Amino acid sequence: MKKSANREQALADREKLFIEATRQQICKQGLLGVQMAAIARSCNFATGTLYHHFASKEDLLMAVCSELSTTRQLYFRRVHEWQGANNRDKMFGFAVAHALFAQHHPEHFRLEQYVMTEVIWQATSEHRRQQFLEAMQPVGRMVESLARQAIDDGDVEPYDIAPLALAVGQWTMSTGMHTLIHADGVLSLYDLNDPYRLLLQNIRLQLNALGWKPLAENPFDRKALEEDVTRLCKKKSFLISVRSKARWTWTAAALQGSHPDIDCLLKSVIKKVHCGIAGKRTRSDANLNPDSWLSTEISRRLLHPHAYAPRLQPARACTRIKPHPFANKHP
């Protein structure tokens, strides 16, 4: 029994290793550059071992997408557990969370688009499709429970439709905008250079159209939008301290532009909080509140990505894969 449990754990660990190696290859070479042999080689396994876990490349990509969907839950859960916020703020917060996740994990959105095309979806095994759908459900349940609560509290009319249907417009707008953002040149062709601002403004307008209280006086008010995003990001449940050593944090996610070097950004944040340029501490730096400064930076970088992009360095998107303890052993 113990031997069987150990074997199952070893197989699960190996599968996670393959999934992470695939994610990194997508970061480096794009979706079309994914090669089963190269992934197996990077993990020090035979290609046949990789196929023992995943029947096809489509199955492997679906598994990567499922894993990243689990990561997205963390972003939405922080909003869902936001204490003291009204229902409309939380619904708007879901949109901000989605935008930050898309900035932090651009490879996930591209991958999700790819695996949900008809040809790839049909080529994937039923087991992997079901795994992906199950990974998406927690986010849907959080949004649905919030919509139900808003209806019960009288913040929005039920309109005789399913509660989750109230959020479909927000979901489709977010997905559509991310599609346009990743299609380089499409938005700039029409001089639409602030896509996330436009997205959030239109979501505020859509919530107003639903009569979701409290109504925004002017959904396109730039100052009010920035105040809302900053207020959202100031919440402790929504912000991780700059002193955290975790590489993939909300701080890193919020501070990144299109393709940042996250380590470099975190160092610059710490330098800004603790000292002045070249190590010269100033009175304003000494009295700086890290959380307040970070929340301002989050809203600025989300709403003014082009203003920050020139200062960012290309991302070192992936780290080296360490040899697995079971490398070169047959399954």
14, 326 in Cβ contact below 8 A? yes
How many helices and strands (H and E) does the chain possess?
Answer: 17, 0
Distance between CA atoms of 96 and 309, rounded to whole angstroms? 19
To the nearest 10°, the Cα dihedral for 85, 134, 64, 328?
130
| Cβ–Cβ < 8 Å for 225, 200 | yes
**Distance between CA atoms of residues 108 and 73, nearest Å:** 13
- The CATH number assigned to the domain with range 56-238 reads 1.10.357.10
What per-residue confidence (pLDDT) applies to 317?
Answer: 41
| Chain centroid to CA 4 | 36
Which of 10, 9, 38 shows the shortest CA–CA distance to 24? 38
User: Which of 1.10.3470, 3.40.50, 3.30.450, 1.10.10 is the CATH number of 7-53?
Assistant: 1.10.10
Say if CB 270 and CB 294 are below 8 A apart. Answer: no
The C-alpha atoms of residue 52 and residue 34 are separated, in whole angstroms, by 18
The values of phi and psi at residue 220, to 5°, are -100, 10
Asked, colleague to colleague, whether 7-53 and 56-238 share their fold, the answer is no
Tell me which DSSP letter residue 154 carries: T
User: Where do the structural domains in the chain lie, given as residue ranges?
Assistant: 7-53, 56-238, 240-315
Q: Which amino acid is at 120?
A: I
Classify residue 15 by burial, with Cβ atoms within 10 Å: 0-12, 13-18, 19+. middle
pLDDT confidence of residue 301: 63
What whole-number distance in Å separates Cα of residue 237 and Cα of residue 145? 19
d(CA 192, CA 205): 18
pLDDT at 267: 42
Q: Is the dihedral of CA 15, 19, 20, 22 positive or negative?
A: positive
Q: Which residues contact 248 (CB under 8 A, 6 or more apart)?
A: 104, 262
How far, in Å, CA of 103 to CA of 109, rounded?
A: 9
pLDDT one digit per residue (tens) for the chain, 331 residues:
566 778 888 889 999 999 999 999 998 888 888 999 999 999 999 999 999 999 999 999 999 999 988 888 988 998 998 888 999 999 999 999 998 888 888 888 889 989 999 999 999 999 999 999 999 999 999 999 999 999 999 999 999 999 999 999 999 999 999 889 888 899 999 999 899 999 999 999 999 999 999 999 999 999 999 888 888 777 645 554 333 333 333 333 333 333 333 334 444 444 444 444 334 444 444 444 544 555 565 566 677 665 544 333 333 344 444 444 444 444 4
pTM of the model: 0.74
User: Which residues, other chains included, contact 45 with Cβ-Cβ below 8 Å and sequence gap of 6+?
Assistant: 14, 18, 324, 327, 328
